[in-house]
Amino acid sequence: MSALWLIRHGPTHAKGMCGWSDLPADLSDTAAIARLAASLPVAPVISSDLDRAARTADAVAGDRPRLPHAPQLREIHFGDWELKRHDEIEAESPELVRAFWDRPGDVAPPAGESWNALRARCDAAIDRVWTGGDLIVVAHFGVILTQLQRALGCDARQVFAHRIEPLSLTRIEIGAQGWQAAEINRLP
């Protein structure tokens, strides 16, 4: 059985919606990072090209093969909402932000990306790099949810109910039965 070992990057402490902004991760919890790294198989490691994911991947990789960064594994592009707090966005465009969260799919922030576009981008990226066996992917909340949605066979609104904490592990097994969620949001 093969597995995708999906790790959310370390915390950024951003107060707003953080998509494509290249914020660093707080990797000061070295004990948690060591426990996380020790729980991973010997497998290739790939990450988003954003600093918070790339540095987290470097921190857990150890002697594992490190694949080139994949820009296609970036977080959702929040466009004009980038780094704004939810209350600020709610004040500017309450109908649009409600539609974005309540009816995820083709609704996108101004100059940003819809859930369906993110899902298509991430599915294509994973399908391109995963060739069987185990693969460790260090990425973002939205990226992990797209693959969890794929494994659970649920809609976007249902998958949004799952918590994906910084430095957590979500493992998806891929075998004869297809994609199966084995662990969701396991903290080190």
Tell me the three state secondary structure of residue 51.
helix
pLDDT tens sequence across 153-177: 999 999 999 999 999 999 999 998 8
Which DSSP letter does residue 116 get?
H
145, pLDDT greater than 90: yes
pLDDT, tens digit (0-9, with 9 covering 90-100), for 31-53: 999 999 999 999 999 999 999 99
In three-state secondary structure terms, 6 is strand
Q: What is the pTM of this model?
A: 0.96
Instruction: State the angle between helix axes of 115-129 and 141-152 in degrees (0 to 180), rounded to the nearest 10.
Output: 80
Domains (range + CATH), the chain: 2-176 (3.40.50.1240)
State the distance between the two ends of the chain, measured CA to CA, in whole angstroms: 23
Region for 61 from its dihedrals, namely left if φ exceeds 0, alpha if ψ lies in -120 to 50, beta otherwise: alpha
Query: How far apart, in whole angstroms, are the C-alpha atoms of residue 7 and residue 187?
Result: 10
Q: What is the pLDDT of residues 60-103, one digit of tens each?
A: 999 999 999 999 999 999 999 999 999 999 999 999 999 999 99
CA–CA distance, 96 with 106 (Å, rounded to integer): 12
Separation CA 112–CA 137 (nearest Å) = 24
What pLDDT shows up at residue 1? 78
